[in-house]
Amino acid sequence: MSTTRLAPSVNHSGRTGSRVSVDKTSIPVNGHTTSKSPALALTGQSRWAGWSYPQPPNVGGATEVIHGVEIKDPWRELEDPEKDETKRFVREQNELSIPLLRSHPHRQLLEDAVRQVCTYERTSVPSLMGDGYYYWTYNQGSWSRDIVVRSKDLQQDFGRLPEGIQSPDPVETTDVATKEHRPGPEVVFNPNQEDMISIYAESWSPCGRFYCVILQEAGSDWQKIRTLDTTTRQPIEDDLIESKFTFGTSWIGSNGFIYKKPIRALDINGNASASSAALAEADGQYAMFYHHLKTPQCEDVMVWYGTGPNARNLITGRPIDCSWDLRGDQKGRRWVFWDIHRSASAETESFIFELPLNLDGMSGRETGMQLKRLIGQGKWLSRGFTGSLHYIGTLSNDTHLFEGTANGYTLGRIVAITAADIDQTVPGGDVPFTQLIPSHPSGFNLLSANLVKDSVLVLVYLRDACAAVVFADARTGDIIGASDQHGTLGHAMTTPSLEIPVPAEELDRRLDAKHAVAIPAHATISSVSSRSDSADFYFSVDTFVAPPYVLSGVILPGVGEPDIKLSRIDHAPAPEEDLVCTQTFYESFDGVKIPLFISHARDLDLTRPQPTLVHAYGGFGVCSTPQYNHQFTTFMRHVRGIVAVACIRGGGEYGADWHECARQINRFICYEDFSHAAKYLHAVGLTTPALTASYGVSNGGTLVAASMNRDPHLWRAVCPDVGVFDSTRFHLFTIGRLWKAEAGDPEDPMQLQYIHAMSPLHSVKADDDIVYPAVFLTTADHDVRVIPGHTLKMLAELQAKRKNNPNIFLGRIYENAGHEVTSKSTEQKVEEAVDRLVFIISAIGL
């Protein structure tokens, strides 16, 4: 389970890919492009002048004294999207911002540039399923959303235009193959054929016969679950409704699955209120339901819900079927791994139970009741929320492998649990386990582990927020190979023809062709796909400077240790290398060194200050690692600026301890870390406050707003997107109560005074002598995770309290969009990126 899916979201670029064209046209200054000259002629003045702000609501405000703390909330009316005052305020904010953003003389140039950066063939990592097909997502480059395709021949079909799709329109299909005059991969599911539908998660039955896709409408966290027969690629029943945060259904055999749904008075019988105000209320308790295929949803059995004083905060991730018999056709023993969260952070409790062999012969109700009984007899793997455990796979001798940080191993390790260990543990008891691979001796952070061919573990580590892959024997734990910025070593090797799209200076030319660099110095391994019954595996490599690419690996039988061979599965040529990335470290307020990625055009003049966009996340243990991002790339190529990404505390770059540093009342640490990134960039002369913008999404939106209040003089433009700004009331809406472990508990008398003091909404400075930067606050009308009320209240506070500020405060409320960037169409992503870039260059006076 990715706990960040319960948290405010992370702005990842999404799918992997391989092909991109580069146009070095930059914003013209004084009639010339800036590809070989200073990027901006700074006027020192915004392009906007003479604006007037919408009138904020004059009703519905409140002042409360809670635990001795006076909390003023004059804009509470804006929390309710159904109020007339809220609708008026939203309409007038857009009426102010849209004309200003669309009238900029460079808008069309920027829009063309963003589209060009987005237009490359994108593929996800292929995954082999029980029906013998490889499944992946594909986008020709300009399609609104990625489509799901499959093939049994990766060598021929991976990265090719799907059969029956006519580029560039993926909505219309044809029986005529359109690429290379031969059929490509088959289309399994095409979300472009439905309005405002996006794919949230997917899963397949063990035999591969059924494909279950979790769908979002207009980006809302409320989900529909659709099951297709993969032989016909048609739905087999009506969609299930009112699911939320189901991270892929959990198949129990091939006849049914477990999914998540909140239990509320309004929808306990499946009848939910359609009111957006109701959807902004606090979610009810989450429960897990078993659904038997081709039966009505009203017959689904609730198999688990939290109990005890903290029951309302308990939520299950994604139960996992554990067996070496992945297809379920060899009658191997099967267990279910079950984890429980008490917040949106990573810490879990987990248990395991065995499934009976005759489960497939039971009715839906019988299966559901049996699961409910078995869950109650689970055997504990970890208790006390001391860390997390993640299932890796099961060896053919029924040994289960797990990766995690439970019991204080904050950098992660690999442990093994045998069937005998489970059998000898009484229900409700603690299963013993054996350490297979200890925490990394050099302090690298273990991010993930995958099992390949019942023999090899693929381990992904972070070293100063940069990825490295280690290969280990799955039975002994011995290290047998590695691949990182220094080459591909040990029993791992590369194909002689391997080409990767990274700057030449990152490649070690001393290496021979069999030991070449496959993973550059500043990279992320964003996805790994493997099976314990297959010798091949796949992973994607992401950087700041080029689109992601997919590598394939294969386990080759060898004398003694097996050999691992890496090659590139896509065949597109590497793009022109016009961008570079370096990493440095700066000191924060307490002397702790923080990693900082600095990316820019290769020919940018760094001897003089340049426009700089500073970005970070700093929460929920999320790692700020390299990613190809259309907004960043356009800023570097066409605005001719620097993108600086800081790996501040609160994230997970150095494991659980790095995260723990900036939780709850210590949140000020991540704010200080972020401000010190700007101070460092100013001190070394890369930029100046007049050329510095900040940008953050969700938790990162909170970060940039809070840092602005603390140090407004450091920034010329601040762009918080879908942030949490009222830190005293976030827990009252939708899933917000699960963020208390991260953002602090406003109901705790000891914490509230600190939370109130750091709350972005309540710490806006009123002194007109203090100049605030220009601020561009953005949200979406279907965001039911961080409700739009946070952004609307922050807008009202800035515009009312700072109405004489010389720099503008703009708000943009997007329609038919939600919280996560992955739920947005290509058009929506382009529009938002262009709006933000227009705002930044306007604020700095271009």
Band (159; pLDDT cuts 50, 70, 90): confident
Residue 663 has pLDDT above 70, yes or no: yes
Residue 100 has pLDDT above 90, yes or no: yes
Tell me what percent of the residues of the chain surpass a pLDDT of 70.
Answer: 88
Residue 40 has pLDDT above 50, yes or no: no
Residue 173 has pLDDT above 90, yes or no: no
Band (171; pLDDT cuts 50, 70, 90): low
User: How confident is the model at residue 246, as a pLDDT?
Assistant: 87
| Largest separation between any pair of C-alpha atoms in the chain | 79
339 vs 381: CA distance, rounded Å:
9
Residue 605: exposure state from Cβ atoms within 10 A (0-12, 13-18, ≥19):
middle
Residue-wise pLDDT tens digits, 751-766:
999 999 999 999 999 9
DSSP string of 653-687, one letter each residue: TT-HHHHHTTSGGGTHHHHHHHHHHHHHHHHTTS-
302 vs 261: CA distance, rounded Å:
9
CB neighbour list of residue 787: distance below 8 Å, 6 or more residues apart? 79, 81, 280, 733, 734
Residue 492 has pLDDT above 50, yes or no: yes
Catalytic one among 491, 630, 762, 819? 819
CA neighbor of 304 nearest in space, from 256, 338, 255? 338
Residue 774 has pLDDT above 90, yes or no: yes
121-135, 495-509, 782-796: least confidently modelled range: 495-509
Where do you find CATH 3.40.50.1820 in the chain? 47-117+576-843
Per-residue pLDDT averaged across 52-66, rounded? 95
Coil/strand/helix, residue 514: helix
Q: Yes or no: say if 796 and 818 are a contact pair by the CB < 8 Å rule.
A: no
User: How confident is the model at residue 515, as a pLDDT?
Assistant: 81
Residue 448: exposure state from Cβ atoms within 10 A (0-12, 13-18, ≥19):
middle
Say which amino acid occupies 829. Answer: K
DSSP for residue 829: H
Band (420; pLDDT cuts 50, 70, 90): very high
DSSP for residue 477: -
> If you count DSSP H runs as helices and E runs as strands, how many of each does the chain have, helices first?
14, 46
Per-residue pLDDT averaged across 773-781, rounded? 97
Token pair 């002689």: residue: 496
Residue-wise pLDDT tens digits, 529-557:
999 999 999 999 999 999 999 999 999 98
Band (176; pLDDT cuts 50, 70, 90): very low
DSSP string of 95-163, one letter each residue: HHHHHHHHT-TTHHHHHHHHHHHH-S-EE---EE-TTS-EEEEEE-SS-SS-EEEEES-HHHHTTSPPT
Residue 801: exposure state from Cβ atoms within 10 A (0-12, 13-18, ≥19):
middle
Band (35; pLDDT cuts 50, 70, 90): very low
Length of the chain: 846
Per-residue pLDDT averaged across 388-396, rounded? 97
Band (230; pLDDT cuts 50, 70, 90): very high
Residue-wise pLDDT tens digits, 707-733:
999 999 999 999 999 999 999 999 999
3-state helix vs strand vs coil in the chain, percent to 5: 25, 30, 45
CA neighbor of 581 nearest in space, from 633, 522, 632, 635? 522
DSSP string of 60-99, one letter each residue: S-EEEEETTEEEEETTGGGG-TTSHHHHHHHHHHHHHHHH
Q: Yes or no: say if 80 and 86 are a contact pair by the CB < 8 Å rule.
A: yes
Per-residue pLDDT averaged across 504-524, rounded? 77
Residue-wise pLDDT tens digits, 588-645:
999 999 999 999 999 999 999 999 999 999 999 999 999 999 999 999 999 999 999 9
Q: Which two tokens stand for residue 138?
A: 């594909």
Catalytic one among 13, 97, 483, 698? 698
Domain 47-117+576-843 superfamily per CATH: Alpha/Beta hydrolase fold, catalytic domain (3.40.50.1820)
Could you tell me the sign of the dihedral formed by the alpha carbons of 298, 299, 305, 308, in that order? positive
Task: Report long-range pairs for 752-758 (Cβ below 8 Å, ≥24 apart).
Answer: 752/66, 752/67, 752/69, 752/728, 753/67, 753/68, 753/69, 754/665, 755/665, 755/727, 755/728, 756/69, 756/71, 756/727, 756/728, 758/667, 758/668, 758/671, 758/706, 758/727
Per-residue pLDDT averaged across 816-838, rounded? 93
CA neighbor of 319 nearest in space, from 351, 356, 293? 351
Q: Yes or no: say if 380 and 431 are a contact pair by the CB < 8 Å rule.
A: yes
**Is the entire prediction scored with pTM above 0.85?**
yes
698 is catalytic: yes
Q: What are phi and psi of 391, to 5 degrees?
A: -70, 135
819 is catalytic: yes
Per-residue pLDDT averaged across 504-510, rounded? 62
DSSP string of 248-307, one letter each residue: S-EESTTSEEEEEEEE-TTTTTS-----HHHHTBBP-EEEEEEEETTS-GGG-EEEEE--
